[in-house]
Amino acid sequence: MGQMNDAGLIAACEGDITSAVSMLALKYMSNDSVLTLMDLVSLDETDNSALLWHCGPTAPSLADENGVRMQSLWLFDQPDGAAIGLHNDLVMKPGQATVMGFTTDFERILILDGTLDNTKPSYTGSRGWLTNLQLNGETITIPELTETIMASYFQHHYPVVYGNWVHESLELAAWLGVKVVEKRPYLPYLKP
């Protein structure tokens, strides 16, 4: 899948049509930039960062100076030790990045941006910590981000492209007549 995305063909994991459409929109907005699809797997309040990770479908051209290692897809390693499949093990190169995706009903759009940090430790697979988090161009804290994602029912895949494409994403939402996922304040109790 990584090689397909490197070649300019949109390839989304797990048959995720919503993310494939989001990736295609990002591709056109970003002048055919190479994209990837990630999960949001860890949040760190100490430095207000979010770990974007996936089992290894990221395009090799997005790797930092350490490059990419092809390894067994360890998520599916067998008890007898036999490896099944491969994945790209890489840390994403540092730089400005935008996460933009439609909700599964295509009625709302999540627009998150920040800076990818390749120095913070993480898991094996395709990964990068997104720091200096902003939602719709405004700073957002980890508790607010968590509340916003949970309240918006956003799915588990996050299309990622290098560069700041927030204004273009906001304009896309306006052209399509879809709502932008707005920041929700965090409150330490259940809300009705």
pLDDT, tens digit, for every residue of 54-96? 987 899 999 999 999 987 776 655 667 676 777 889 999 999 9
Q: What is the structure's pLDDT at 104?
A: 96
Cα dihedral 81, 40, 35, 178 sign: positive
Q: Using CA atoms, how far apart are residues 127 and 20, in angstroms rounded to an integer?
A: 19
Is it the case that residue 123 has pLDDT exceeding 90?
Answer: no
pTM beyond 0.85, yes or no: yes
- The superfamily in CATH containing domain 2-9+17-180 is L-fucose/L-arabinose isomerase, C-terminal (3.20.14.10)
Q: List the one residue out of 95, 106, 109, 116 whose CA is nearest residue 169.
A: 109
Average pLDDT over residues 19-46: 96
Is it the case that residue 108 has pLDDT exceeding 90?
Answer: yes
Q: What is the structure's pLDDT at 190?
A: 82
Is it the case that residue 27 has pLDDT exceeding 90?
Answer: yes
Q: What is the structure's pLDDT at 100?
A: 98
What are the two backbone dihedrals, phi and then psi, of residue 85, each rounded to the nearest 5 degrees? 75, 175
Q: What is the structure's pLDDT at 43?
A: 98
Between 191 and 18, where is the model more confident? 18
Average pLDDT over residues 39-63: 94
Q: What is the structure's pLDDT at 81?
A: 66
Three-state helix/strand/coil letters over 89-151: EEEECCEEEEEEEECCCCCEEEEEEEEEECCCCCCCCEEEEEEEEEECCEECCHHHHHHHHHH
Boundaries of every domain in the chain: 2-9+17-180
